[in-house]
Every structure is written in structure tokens, then in C-alpha cells.
Amino acid sequence: MGPASQRAALVQAAAAKPPPGPEPHLQPPVVEVLSAEKSFANGTRALAPIDLTVRAGEFLTLIGPSGCGKSTLLKLIANLYEPTDGRINWWRGDFRKVGQDGRRLAFVFQDPTLMPWARVATNVRLPLDLERVPKPQATPRVAAALEQVGLGHAARSFPRQLSGGMRMRVSIARALVTEPNLLLMDEPFGALDEFTRNKLDDDLVALSWERKLTTIFVTHSIYEAVFLSTRIVVMAANPGRVFREVVIDEPMPRGDDFRTSSRFADLCRELSAALTDASIASQGKGAKTPCAR
Amino acid sequence: MRPLIRNEWFVRVAAPLLVGALVLAVWQLACQTYEVPAYLFPTPTDIAAKLASDLPGLLGALWSTLKVTFMAFAIAVIAGTALAFLFTQSRIIEFSLLPYAVILQVTPIAAVAPLIIILVKDTTAALTICAAVIAIFPIISNTTIGLKSVDPSLANYFRMNKAGRLQTLVRLRIPSALPFFLAGLRISSGLALIGAVVAEFVAGTGGRSAGLAYEILQSSFQLDIPRMFAALFLITATGVILFLAMAGLSNLLLGHWHESALKVEQ
């Protein structure tokens, strides 16, 4: 089965399934950011205290001008950074809850972040190897994850033999192989051309719907944010803070019908206006706070 | 038909061989034309004839030099890699020991060798230590840099997946360090040979364990310049073979993924 038919099958399968839950606000919280703030050792105040709750099944996108702390907030949620003050709960507990009772977190970086010395299948198997999942159990899961992103044929390739879009798919397969409940994505498609990006957005929206994933996504693209999200958090800089929220109350899974609709254009306009306001609010308030990498 | 200059085999093998042949021909012709005596500057054919006639003696000397070179290289690889691992485990260890590794590197071996030869009774052991002292630094330095040159995002990925220290070392740090380590091996193998020859010069040992450096010294004292060149040729050939072996190892281990070993598509 080719990548195109894979995608079509995925979208159809997702469309055939019931929605993940009754109402988003009735779902239990997966991540709670409780007055968490972040300053770096060099004195840069990346984030003012932030309160944010992400509930099961939500597709939440963080968007905002450069330096607003989107990536920093995502890394706090991934436990890659410690908050300077405040705290973060995962499934109403501390980070030890992650990995217990099937509660899994996966992170997709801006770059594919693959091991260049390992074949695609070995890259995808990495989180299972780190968990010491026996190879006979891991192998079919790896094959399934690769099939899911339309790369079943590339299992024995090396990352350098793949295009940018295919590498990103491998990275997504590596995230999916652990069957995560919480998927964190830091501008994963930022470096790709628009055509590839749209295809991957289609796949992602179908996947997250089918698997009932809770997803937190960072992007600079207004169109991508509107297409993917159930809720968008617009952030402002100096220091990084939540500026506004935009709810995208449109049925899932979405496809080209939504992308070409007037409703989509209206939502993009609304988000664009919110971003403009956030940019104005970011100017002249405190010292410049570069985005942490 | 593809032009020769685009032929990979021609560029990599035939072109350097042609240059070598040309140099030898000019050398031979110049010596014959100007009737340069062999005790001043022998022709390539004089050297080849000497090499053929004195081969058993020269091969014995080569074996002595090779023994010292290989032992020194092995010590440098094992000790250098172990030290590099130690350096990356703890900053205090790194900062405590690194200055001494640098001191070892910057002190000329010819100045230290007499001391080592006096202190160590066994000549072969003394020569090996001298050569290892020279050869160890590129291994320490390259492997340390390699072990630290991990893609930060991949390191974060390992951390986020709660990977253990050993898992991170084996699955991430060692493969990341491999290109650096192999580059260190290339330099170190040549330095081990240089160290062995320099130490032999300083020690000036003769007898059964005499190496190629001693052969060169003896030949120069006896004005047997063709034999001197023959010994020099063997040293150079050994160095080239060592380099090619390390390049081959590098291609074997990195050829399928690392830019340094990938063939450039044209």
C-alpha cells in the first residue's frame, strides 16, 4: 500500500470511529500547568507564571511571536526543563506518573532527531529498547507504526536515504510506537515545504483522532494551527505568557473540505488578528527574551 | 565514454601512482645524467637492488619496529579511550587530568625519551612507552570531543525516555563518538610509528632487537646510503599501510551513514 492510499485509509478509518468523548471540558486533565514560570541562569525571564489545563483528547496548539516561550512551555511540559516556580501535573500527579499504567508521553522535535547510524526500524524501536521491551514484542509494533505513517517499505533504509518529509514521518512513527496518550510536538513540520506539510497535517489530524491522543503542538503557522487544533493558545512575549485562547469548534477529522471552507478562512482571520494583538502586547514590555532552544 | 578525470578508480588509485612513477623516472634520469654517486644520492634502482639483497636483515629490523609500533598503538587506544570515558563521566576528573595529558603532548618525545630509557630497564618496553606517549593524545582528545558531541535533541530524547547512564553511553554517546574516535585512530597510528622510530634513534639500540631507525643510523655511519633509503622506504610503506588500514576501518564502520565516509554523488 502506497503512502497516499495509507493516508486515505487512515482518514476513512478515523471518520468511521466515534468521537473520543462527550465534551472536551468534561474530560479529565492530562496536563495542568499551575503558575509555572521559567527564568534561565543568564537572567532571561522566558515565561511569566502560566496556568493552563490540557484535557484528554484535546489538540492544543501554542502559537505566538518569536521569543514568546512556546518551546520553553512545551519543554516544561515534557519535563526537559524544571519550572523556576510553580509546578506541572501530569495525570494529576508528578512526572513519576508518566510511564505508569499506560500513561505515556512522546515528544516530536523540530528536527527529526534520528540516529543517523541506525536503520529506520531501529530508530523507531528506540523507545521500546530503552524500556527493555523484548525484541519479538517490539518488532510487530515497529512494523505497525511504520505502516501507520506509510513507511513500511523504508524499514531497512538509513535516515540519510530519506527525504525531509519521510524523516519526519519516521520521527512520528517513533513517537507512536509507544502508544502515547500525550503527544508533544515542537514545530515538527516547520522546515518542510507546504505540500508535504499539508499531507503530514492530514495524517496527524487523522491519527490523533483515531488514537484519541492528547496533543500539544507548537507552530508558527496560522493555517496549520486552525486546521489541526481544537483549541489554540496565543502567547505574547516579554515575558512569555498566555495572551488569548481561540476554540476551533469544528468536527473532526478534518480534510481538504475544511481547509478550503469559508469557515476556515474566518478562523484564520480571527487567529491572525489575535496574533497581531499579541505582537503589539509583546513590544516594549521588559527586556527582549530570546526563545530558549 | 566518461573522461578519465571523472573515473573514480583513476582519481583515487591511478593518478597518485602515475605521479609516483613520474617522480621516480625523473629521479632515476637525473642521477644517471649527472652521474651522481650512490653514496651521495642513489637511484631508485640502486635502492631496489639493495632492498632485494638486504631484505632478510631489513625485514627483521622492520619486525622490531612494528612490534613497538603495534604495542604502543594498542596501549594508546586502550588507555586513551578509557581516559576519554573517564573525562566525560566527571568534570572534576577531566579538569584534574587534562592539563597533564596536554603537558604529555607538548613535551618533545626526544627530550623525554632518554629519561624513560634510563628508568625502564627493558629496551622494548622503554621504546613502547615512548611511542605510546606520543600516540595517546589524539585518542584522548578526539574521543573526549566525540563523547561530548551528542546531538542535544537526541540527548533530550534519551533523558525524556528515562534512559539509564549505560543505555545512553552504549546507544548514543559511543556511536556519536565513533567518527571522532576513528579520526583519532588515523592520527595515532602514524604517531605510534613515528614515536617508535624516534625512540629507537634516541635509544640507539643494536643487536637482535634493533629496529629500522638503528638500520638508518648504521647505514649513515657506513655511508651505505642505498640501504638507508631502503630502510626509509620500509618505514614509509609501513606508515602508508597503517593509514590505509585505518581508512578502511573507518569506511567499514562509517560508510553507510557518516558524511566523512560517504561517497560524493556527482
Please report the sign of the dihedral spanned by the C-alpha atoms of residue A104, residue A109, residue A111, residue A113: negative
Tell me the three state secondary structure of residue A21.
coil
For residue A198, which of A248, A254, A160 has the smallest C-alpha distance? A254
Residues A170, A172: Cα–Cα separation, whole Å? 5
Give the separation between CA A39 and CA A290, rounded to whole angstroms: 11
User: Do residues A87 and A34 lie in contact, with contact meaning Cβ atoms separated by under 8 Å?
Assistant: yes
Instruction: Indicate if A149 and A231 belong to the same structural domain.
Output: no
Interchain contact, A80 vs B258, CB within 8 Å: no
Q: Give residue-wise pLDDT tens across range A158-215.
A: 999 999 889 999 999 999 899 899 999 999 888 788 888 888 899 899 888 888 899 9
* B262, closest residue in chain A (CA to CA): A160
Search chain A and give the residue with CA nearest B173: A115
Give SS3 for A62. Answer: strand
Same-domain pairing of A27 and A141? no
Condensed to tens digits (0 to 9), the pLDDT of residues B162-173 reads 899 899 999 999
List of chain A residues whose C-beta atoms are within 8 Å of the C-beta of residue B153: 109-111, 113
Look at A109 and B151 and tell me if their CB atoms are within 8 Å.
Answer: no
pLDDT band (50, 70, 90) for residue B81: very high
Contact B157 A113 (CB under 8 A): yes
Annotated domain spans of chain B? 45-254
Contact status of A116 with chain B (Cβ, < 8 Å): yes
> What is the pLDDT at residue A2?
47
| Domains identified in chain A, total number | 2
Q: How far apart are CA B50 and CA A286, in angstroms?
A: 82
Q: Does A56 reside within a domain?
A: yes
* Rounded Cα distance, B134 and B114, in Å: 15
* Torsion angle of C-alpha atoms B205, B207, B209, B210, degrees rounded to 10: 60
| Length in residues, chain B | 266
Q: Assess if residue A257 is contained within a domain.
A: yes
For residues A175 and A192, state if they share a domain. no
Does one domain contain both A169 and A187?
Answer: no
| Residue B63 exposure: Cα atoms within 13 Å on the Cβ side | 8
CA distance B211 to A188: 61
Kindly determine whether residue B160 and residue A105, on different chains, have CB atoms separated by under 8 Å.
yes
State the pLDDT at residue A24. 60
Contact A264, A272 (CB under 8 A): no
Give every CB contact of residue A249 below 8 A, 6+ residues apart in sequence.
Answer: A230
Q: Same domain for A262 and A160? A: no
Long-range contacts of B185-188, Cβ-Cβ distance < 8 Å, separation of 24 or more:
B185/B77, B185/B139, B185/B246, B185/B249, B185/B250, B186/B243, B186/B246, B186/B247, B186/B250, B187/B138, B187/B142, B188/B73, B188/B76, B188/B77, B188/B80, B188/B135, B188/B136, B188/B138, B188/B139
Same-domain pairing of A72 and A211? yes
Grid coordinates standing for B96?
Answer: 584534574
Say how far apart CA A266 and CA A223 lie, in whole Å.
11
How far does Cα B231 stand from its chain's mean position?
A: 17
pLDDT tens-digit map of B210-265 = 889 999 999 999 999 999 999 999 999 999 999 999 999 999 999 888 887 766 54
Domain range B45-254, its CATH number among 1.10.3720.10, 3.20.20.140, 3.30.590.20, 1.10.274.10: 1.10.3720.10
Average pLDDT of span B77-92: 91
Q: Is the Cβ–Cβ distance between A144 and A72 less than 8 Å?
A: no
- Identify which of A99, A126, A160 has the shortest CB distance to residue B257: A160
Quote the minimal CA–CA distance from B156 to chain A in Å: 7
Whether residues A107 and B256 touch (CB distance < 8 A) is answered with no
Q: Which of A179, A202, A234 is the last residue of a domain?
A: A179
Decide if A94 touches B, using CB distance below 8 A.
Answer: no
**Cβ atoms within 10 A of the Cβ of B31, count?**
19
Q: Domain check: are A42 and A169 in the same one?
A: no
Q: Judging by beta carbons within 10 Å of its beta carbon (0-12, 13-18, 19+), is residue A125 exposed, middle or buried?
A: buried
**pLDDT value at residue B1:** 57
- Domain with residue A262: its CATH number is 3.40.50.300
Burial class (CB within 10 angstroms; exposed 0-12, middle 13-18, buried 19+) of B171: buried
Q: Which three cell numbers stand for residue A165?
A: 518529509
Nearest 10 degrees: Cα torsion B69, B73, B79, B80 = 130
**Residue A92 shares a structural domain with residue A198:** yes
Q: Considering chain B, what is the average pLDDT of its residues?
A: 90
**Residues sharing a CB contact under 8 Å with residue B15, sequence separation 6 or more, in sequence order:** none
Whether A126 and B171 lie within 8 Å, measured CB to CB: yes
Does B17 reach chain A within 8 Å, measured CB to CB?
Answer: no
Beta carbon pairs, A and B, within 8 Å = 47
Q: Do A107 and B157 touch (CB under 8 A)?
A: yes
pLDDT along chain A (293 residues), means of 10: 47 45 72 95 92 95 93 94 94 86 88 94 96 94 91 93 91 92 91 84 89 93 95 94 94 90 95 94 58 37
Residue B184, pLDDT > 70, answer: yes
Question: The C-alpha cell of A177 is what?
Answer: 510506537
- Among residues A76, A78, A80, A79, the alpha carbon closest in space to that of A49 is found at A76
User: Is A233 a member of any domain?
Assistant: yes
Does A135 lie in the same domain as A48? no
Residues of B in contact with A131 (CB under 8 A): 161
More confident position, B75 or A21? B75
Give the model's pLDDT for residue B186: 94
Residues A31, A123 within the same domain = no
| Structural domain ending residue among the three candidates A136, A156, A179 | A179
Of A139, A157, A179, the domain-final residue: A179
Which pLDDT does position A215 carry in this prediction?
Answer: 95
DSSP, collapsed to helix, strand or coil, labels residue A184 as: strand
Sequence-distant (6+) residues with CB within 8 A of A194 are: none
Interchain pair B258, A116: CB under 8 A: yes
Contact A107, A71 (CB under 8 A): no
Q: Is residue A206 within 8 Å of A11, Cβ to Cβ?
A: yes
Residues 176-205, chain B, touching A (beta carbon < 8 A): 178
Q: What is the percent of chain B with per-residue pLDDT over 90, rounded to a whole number?
A: 62
Same domain for A138 and A27: no
Q: Could you tell me if A26 and A151 lie in one domain?
A: no
pLDDT for the residue B111? 87
Instruction: Report the distance separating Cα A154 and Cα A151, nearest Å.
Output: 5
Interchain pair A129, B171: CB under 8 A = yes
The yes-or-no verdict on residue B93 having pLDDT over 70 is yes
Contacts of A80 in chain B (CB under 8 A): 156, 159-160
Q: Residue A275 sits in which domain range?
A: 15-104+181-282
DSSP alpha helices (H): ranges in chain A?
3-16, 70-77, 120-130, 135-148, 164-176, 194-210, 222-228, 256-259, 262-282
The rounded distance, in Å, linking the Cα atoms of A272 and B53 is: 88
Q: Which residues of A63-89 are buried (b: 16+ CB within 10 A; e: fewer)?
A: bbbebbbbbbbbbbbbbbbebeebebb
